[in-house]
Structure 1
Amino acid sequence: MLTDGSTGERFCQHCGNVVVERIEDPRAEQRSFADSSSDKSRTGAPNSLAIHDRGLATTIGSEGRDAAGKSLSASMKQDMRRLRIWDSRSQTQEKAGRSLRAAFMELDKLKDKLTLSDSVIERAAQIYRKAAGKGLVRGRSVLDVIGAATYAACRDTGTPRTLNDFADELNVKRKSISKSYRMLVNELDLRMPVIDAVSCISKIASKIGLDEKTKRYALEMLKDASEREETAGKGPMGLAAAALYASCLKYNVKVSQREISIASGVTEVTIRNRYRAFIEPDEFGKNMQEIKPQAVAAPTA
């Protein structure tokens, strides 16, 4: 698909079929005021649920000039400075506003630490606002609820993040986040999709530094097991870790269960149990038997 900026059309480069005739310009509107400001955009930042006031609050500029570009007097500058102070205080005067501001500051930190997308952050802010509107945040830790809301947003958007990731970055217990997550699912009637183990392969493999051949074989193992409907009821991260471990044994990659356990966040016992299920012919098919001889040589590497 190609986009013509002059005509505003989006069309196929092979057949010439025009999909969209007029595309909206996502850039900010420009102004032509005669001032010395380098920012020519007429509008501000877009609205966002991840801001305590949704980005709708206005700000009083710090430039000491009026609309015509003339310099303000000393008394007027003092009045404007005082108005700016009261304007900033009035935005977080209510307790609910201060709570949202503190929660979304932690959400912005999580975005950078866990490399989350804007869609995940918007979904997390929406879930947290619903919980705050129903009074579910009252009496609970803000870190626990915002961590649970972000984890629910990751589950909803298919982003592979675990509870241990949120517990480590927020410096709280995993049990408290999981408790808040169950509360949000039950009280807000959320329908969380099941995480696919295939999406967890790339996350674990990138931390260990595995090659593409090893990842591809692990993906084939998981897809074959998923088609047989034999992965139901098992943790996706444990299945992905076991598939990668079996693939490493097949291609003689020097990776231990300990390294995969640290990268995936599951225990070595879980990896061994899922690995035994992979090499059992009666459970995952006869095509998995080819990795069994190497598994006997070093089952607990």
Structure 2
Amino acid sequence: MASETEVLRNIIYDPVRGEYIDVETGEVVSEGEIREGKDWRAFDAEDVMTRAHTGPGYTMKVHDGGITTFVDGRSRISKMQKILRRPSDLAGKREIEAKKRLNEIAGIISLPEILVEDAGYIIKKLAVRGVIKRKNLDYIVAAVIYRVAYLRNIDLDKEVLMKTMSLDRRKFFETLKKLEWSEVFNDIREKVSRGERNISICGSNSIDRILSTMKLSDPVRETSIRILRSLYILDPSICSGKNPKGIVGAAIYIASIINNERISQQEIASKLNISEVTIRNRYKHILDKIDLVVFI
């Protein structure tokens, strides 16, 4: 009789249909779960504009979470909306200034989305505490970016960061130390320890750290992580004696094909500084290990 672990490994969750499926028999084990996918389909840009009836997801990159509805024109509603959207307290104003600077730097040095979201969360906490002042705003933003990158195991050169923001080295590290003492990063540290958004395979190598070297769309990135998670569950020793970049590169290649955003093996190999042969071998290995079910 199969053990409980073996049974669980054979069951996958389809977030679009809200079903748990046995990959060996094709049997739907459970249905009627909460569907995480859209309830409409789009085949071109026009379909998206006409069929979408929800806005973007909640984000910490802007002070209002990105859920404010804008009304165009010079109507009374539009004018009133601008007044209501403008924060009346100093903390809100400082948060807007800090997040504006955060997004500006993220664009200049190409920071990963996950880092910007977490940094935005920390900035909001600091603004509420009244820590952010106009004179230390750049140092606060830089320190938050650098510390979150460290906690997430994302490669970030502090020299490049300080040069981009024209910061004094001594003052930067003083600000970083003060923020550490305030324990403002505890939430992010706890998320990382629980494995949220950042799963560790191949010892201490982080998927986010490797993925951050590639400019991937959100669907390709998410599919890559799902493939790697499934792979690691089935075989925790998948990277034993192997370069983790090969496994991640192969997962990216498969994910790009699934999402119709094909990235060549040559391009992936070049960006990850590995050979195409390595990606090809890991690609075949992944397909031998897991069954990929794509619903169209």
> Which structure has the larger Rg?
1
Higher relative contact order (CA 8 A, sep 6+): 2
Normalising to structure 2: TM-score of the pair? 0.49
